């Protein structure tokens, strides 16, 4: 039988034991900590992927922007190369007008002219011309730009290649001097208008073109129509129009070379009643080889491009000319070889061009 003292002692020992080693909470199940950390790891991974994706997209967009910027610069800019090293404050700028003179050629020349006019180091310009001519407006634009270059105090010399006829001569006439190669064909001071008449072809095909005109425009709106022959009255009107442009052409030549041109001598050619005979021998639409052209006063001397450059340096008073050739910078498509192959392409634009009459300063077969 247990006494009271023994019970109290046993209770005291139980309390002591309990205070020395308190009970611990039960351990969590295996994998519980990993379960809590997994969402954080997934969130960090997603943030990392998002940042990398943002950087990748940004890099792609930046590269696209740089490519487009480069392409635009290539489309509109001019490039240059040094042909003859010299004093960089005595620049002779060389530019070539080649092929049919159209709005694109005129625009490119306008870019060149603006650059050399504003460059104090450019003291003289050589325009290399190898062209049968082209559009009336495009030819006149280049002629006006050459006048502006001269008005800016810079000497201008034309170097003619194998062909510098009609519009090719129109843009040359305003230069200080004209140097032509011995085999150059030039002249053709005249205006031409031409268009196809397809009415017979349509009849053979069993087709017909219907043309309706407003009342006030009934007589003249389609005087150069490809679907019928013009009337006699329309032909007279078109001749008057061409004569007015001829007068403009001759005026440009006289302004540029009047004191050098050979006067017309010989029988008076048959002319319409309201037209005087030509004042100068070369005002007849004919082309001439270089020696004949020099006799008629159309050019100054014979020689090649280097001679034209030397003459430009002399006119500008340069003792150490630095000669630079300017040319159209290749487009991005051209540099990458993606330009379309040459060939005949019939589309809506081509069809419209066939129907659009053209009046040209151009030497060509009829």
Q: Is 98 a catalytic residue?
A: no
Any domain includes 70: no
Give the percent of the chain with pLDDT over 70. Answer: 75
Any domain includes 3: no
Where residue 181 sits, what CATH number does that domain have?
Answer: 3.90.226.10
Torsion of CA 267, 270, 273, 274, to 10 degrees: -80
Q: What is the pLDDT of residue 88?
A: 96
Any domain includes 95: yes
Q: What is the pLDDT of residue 197?
A: 82
Any domain includes 232: yes
Determine which one of 159, 166, 188, 225 is catalytic. Answer: 166
Q: How many domains does the chain have?
A: 1
Q: Is 307 a catalytic residue?
A: no
Burial class (CB in 10 A: 0-12, 13-18, 19+), 155: buried
Determine which one of 7, 41, 213, 221 is catalytic. Answer: 221
Mean per-residue pLDDT for 234-245?
92
Any domain includes 32: no
Any domain includes 104: yes
> CB atoms < 10 A from the CB of 361, how many?
32
Query: Residue 103: CB partners within 8 Å, gap ≥ 6?
Result: 135, 137, 138
Any domain includes 56: no
Q: Name the average pLDDT for the chain.
A: 83
What tens digit of pLDDT does each residue of 314-359 get? Answer: 999 999 999 999 998 876 555 555 555 555 555 555 555 555 667 8
The model's pTM is 0.75
Any domain includes 195: yes
In this predicted structure, the answer to whether residue 143 has a pLDDT above a threshold of 50 is yes
Q: What is the pLDDT of residue 342?
A: 54
More confident residue, 131 or 5: 131
Mean per-residue pLDDT for 253-276?
83
Q: What is the pLDDT of residue 15?
A: 45
What tens digit of pLDDT does each residue of 281-325 get? Answer: 999 999 999 999 999 999 999 999 999 999 999 999 999 999 999
What tens digit of pLDDT does each residue of 63-120 get? Answer: 766 656 555 544 457 999 999 999 999 999 999 999 999 999 999 999 999 999 999 9
Nearest alpha carbon to residue 297 among 211, 209, 187: 187
Determine the structural domain holding residue 133 and report its residue range. 77-214+224-264+275-332+352-362
């Amino acid at each position: 039988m247990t006494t009271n003292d023994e019970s109290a002692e046993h209770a005291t020992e139980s309390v002591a034991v309990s205070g020395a080693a308190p009970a611990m909470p039960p351990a969590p199940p295996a994998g519980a900590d990993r379960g809590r950390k997994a969402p954080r790891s997934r969130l960090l991974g997603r943030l990392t992927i998002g940042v990398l994706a943002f950087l990748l997209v940004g890099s792609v967009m930046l590269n696209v922007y740089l490519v487009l910027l480069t392409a635009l610069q290539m489309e509109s800019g001019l490039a240059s190369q040094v042909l003859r090293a010299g004093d960089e404050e005595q620049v002779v700028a060389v530019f070539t007008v080649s092929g049919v003179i159209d709005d694109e050629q005129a625009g490119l020349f306008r870019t060149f002219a603006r650059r050399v006019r504003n460059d104090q180091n450019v003291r003289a310009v050589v325009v290399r011309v190898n062209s049968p001519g082209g559009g009336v407006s495009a030819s006149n634009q280049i002629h006006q730009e050459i006048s502006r270059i001269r008005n800016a105090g810079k000497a201008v010399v034309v170097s003619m290649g194998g062909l510098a006829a009609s519009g090719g001569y129109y843009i040359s006439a305003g230069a200080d001097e004209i140097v032509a190669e011995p085999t150059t064909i030039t002249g053709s001071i005249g205006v031409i208008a031409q268009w196809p008449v397809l009415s017979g072809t349509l009849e053979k095909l069993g087709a017909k073109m219907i043309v309706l005109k407003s009342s006030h425009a009934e007589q003249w709106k389609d005087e150069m129509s490809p679907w019928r022959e013009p009337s006699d009255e329309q032909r007279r009107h078109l001749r008057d129009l061409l004569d007015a442009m001829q007068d403009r052409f001759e005026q440009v030549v006289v302004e540029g070379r009047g004191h050098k041109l050979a006067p017309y001598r010989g029988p008076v050619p048959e002319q319409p009643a309201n037209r005087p005979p030509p004042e100068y021998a070369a005002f007849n639409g004919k082309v001439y080889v270089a020696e004949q052209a020099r006799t008629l006063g159309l050019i100054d001397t014979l020689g090649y491009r280097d001679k034209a450059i030397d003459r430009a340096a002399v006119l500008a008073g340069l003792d150490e000319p630095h000669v630079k050739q300017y040319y159209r910078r290749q487009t991005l498509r051209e540099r990458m070889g993606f330009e379309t192959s040459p060939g005949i392409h019939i589309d809506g634009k081509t069809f419209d061009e066939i129907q659009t009459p053209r009046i040209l300063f151009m030497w060509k077969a009829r």
